[in-house]
Amino acid sequence: MHALIRQAAGPSIAAGPGFSGAYLNHSCDAHTMENLPEFIANHLFLVSLFIGLLSLLLWNIFGTTVSGVAEISPMEVTRLMNHEKAVVLDVRPEKNYAEGHVLNAINIPPEKSDAQADVVKQYREQPVILFADTAPEAVRVARLLKQQGFMRLYTLKGGAQSWRTANLPLLRDSTTS
């Protein structure tokens, strides 16, 4: 009876007492490894997709370590502002800054960040928080500031949207309608 079950079920399913597990004992032998290049060649799109997703996952996990800039929550931003006199640099375009910005934030639009880098040199010893819509914007400015000797750089995790989601205040310029 067990032989009939094994025969009907195929090699990958075990059944009954006394089953030796021989059907499940698949080892990674040389024959399997020989097929890997063929698999990659036949499924180039899937392999590329896998490598791309793996790269994004690793960047998401280790990106802050690589960039040398810590991501912090909106509550940590307010703590740094209140207790350690952190400076907030808003690296969004002027229009976005005018529509709503953090109290006392200094606007350094992306197109002017190189020119205005000298303006923020006086804050080199203080914690500096980069406020942006996306992480790449903040990391680009962070690299520039790191080259100028800034050591305590932070970015707002989740960008401006996380600040709004936390229901923290944004000031609007009076020139904005």
Query: Which domain does 38 fall in, by range?
Result: 2-63
Q: Are 94 and 116 members of one domain?
A: yes
Q: Are 49 and 79 members of one domain?
A: no
Residue 1 pLDDT: 47
Number of domains comprising the chain: 2
Domain contains 6: yes
Residue 7 pLDDT: 52
pLDDT in tens, 115-127: 666 778 888 889 9
Residue 176 pLDDT: 45
Domain contains 57: yes
Domain contains 125: yes
Domain contains 170: no
Q: Among 20, 37, 63, where does a domain finish?
A: 63
pLDDT in tens, 42-75: 999 999 999 999 988 887 666 655 556 788 999 9
Residue 114 pLDDT: 63
Read off the DSSP letter of residue 10: -
Residue 130 pLDDT: 92
Q: Are 102 and 41 members of one domain?
A: no
Q: Are 93 and 140 members of one domain?
A: yes
Altogether, the residues listed in the chain come to a count of: 177
Q: Are 44 and 21 members of one domain?
A: yes
Q: Are 56 and 80 members of one domain?
A: no
Domain contains 123: yes
Residue 65 pLDDT: 56
Q: Are 30 and 106 members of one domain?
A: no
Domain contains 174: no
Q: Are 97 and 32 members of one domain?
A: no
CATH code: domain of residue 95 = 3.40.250.10
Domain contains 107: yes
35-60: b (≥16 Cβ within 10 Å) or e: eeeeeeeeeeeeeeeeeeeeeeeeee
Residue 68 pLDDT: 67
Q: Are 25 and 82 members of one domain?
A: no
List of residues 6+ apart from 6 with CB closer than 8 A: 13, 14, 15, 16, 19, 23
Could you report how far apart the first and last alpha carbons of the chain are, in Å?
83
Q: Are 73 and 153 members of one domain?
A: yes
